[in-house]
Structure 1
Amino acid sequence: MRAATAANIICLAPGPAPGSLLLQYWESKEKLLDYAINAFAEHIPAWKAFNRAGDTSSEFGIWHETYLVTPGHYEAIYVNMPPFGLGKAGKLHPAHGKRATAKDRLDIGHGV
């Protein structure tokens, strides 16, 4: 799934995850950082509104982590469930043949 969030900025897997969690996978660090400072994207107005509201209640919180992952150096396994997380952001391959073991999959270096 690819969603354009602003001109030439691509978020690979946007949207809420189960449990009211927003999880995003970005195509590159540069595109994430460009989006974060783009006054025409949703990020800056949302932060400004949150800060104006001064929400100090425990009803809403923010958890933010950023990981930089070298392309092809990750895996995601799905058994009896739809693609989620990395599986929505990347290309899925069946885990058999040259991809039968974790070592084989990671040695191929194409991710998911």
Structure 2
Amino acid sequence: MDISSLIREELTMLGAGACTMLTLHFSSQIASQHLYYWKNPKQQSAIMIIILMALIYVVYSFVGVLDLKSSKLILVLLDLIKECYKALVVVKFLALLYSYVANELVVEW
């Protein structure tokens, strides 16, 4: 496969696919490590939800690059899922921060 002979759209798809696959690999690797070393469920469940946010963003971005005929409907649905999940991530991130602060306050007192 000669990369120099590819047109711009093919290069874009190749780059987007490679980045999508890397994100899927690293996110699943981090998530599996958190599941394997499950020592603090309250904090690690929040961390798992935050990690999975990257997967939603990468799928949304890759579908946007694909430019399918029905991608408008799929993008609207993915955008709805992304926005709802973003709200959940913000809540879980704040809960994670509060749990870290609460642990520090208990140790100091």
Shorter-chain TM-score: what band?
under 0.3
TM-score (norm 2): 0.26
- In terms of fraction of residues, the more helix-rich structure is 2
